[in-house]
Amino acid sequence: MVPARTAAISEVHGKADEGAAPRAPNALPWLVLSGLVIWLDAVTKGLALEHLRLGEPVAVIDGLLNWTLVYNPGAAFSFLSDASGWQRWFFAALAVGMSALLTVWLARTDRRDWRQAAPFALVIGGALGNLVDRLVHGHVIDFIDTYWGTAHWPAFNIADSAIVIGAIGIALVGFLPKGRDS
């Protein structure tokens, strides 16, 4: 038999060639982290809807942090929030597309490569957390309001935090040299 064909048959039957390196398991189990982000985001948004009034700040750390319920029909920094409604479906499609792409990348990533897998999973969880809001409410629910004096950062939520942390992680992985022990 031809060696390549023998290897293919062995792989199909679950037997690894003696000379071939075993394929590492993929990073799809990291989607559990995505699920945790979606769950935590939904729980905290539910609490915000239940206990906060729209636009009325509740001081948590005076001079630094409030809980303030706001609705954002746009994206980060209220980008396109004043559009006529098409942005809801645009950002929903973008969330689905990015999550699908990152899931494919997770499937191609070694499970032990947490430096790459964890950021992918965080972005997926954050994107899908906000997608749930867009589909259910027609806007994203934000409630974390940070500020210094009179300067306020735009309100955000757990999903937004996961997206930002994940994006920073993806960027760092791209810039930092890969270590021997992932």
58-61, strands of its sheet edge to edge: 58-61, 65-72, 140-148, 151-152
DSSP string, 119-165: HHHHHHHHHHHHHHHHHHHSSEEEEEEEEETTEEPPPB-HHHHHHHH
Residue 13 is predicted with a pLDDT of: 47
Catalytic residue among 41, 113, 133, 142: 142
Using an 8 Å Cβ cutoff, are 173 and 116 in contact? Answer: yes
Residue 157 is predicted with a pLDDT of: 97
Residues of the chain with pLDDT under 50: 1-14, 182
Residue 12 is predicted with a pLDDT of: 46
**For residue 92, with 0-12 CB atoms within 10 Å meaning exposed, 13-18 middle and 19 or more buried, which class applies?**
middle
Active site annotation includes 145: no
Residue 176 is predicted with a pLDDT of: 80
Q: Which long-range contacts (CB under 8 A, 24 or more apart) does 165-169 make?
A: 165/119, 165/122, 166/118, 166/119, 166/120, 166/121, 166/122, 166/123, 166/124, 166/126, 167/119, 167/123, 168/119, 169/115, 169/118, 169/119, 169/122
Residue 150 is predicted with a pLDDT of: 87
Catalytic residue among 41, 133, 145, 160: 160
Residue 85 is predicted with a pLDDT of: 61
Active site annotation includes 110: no
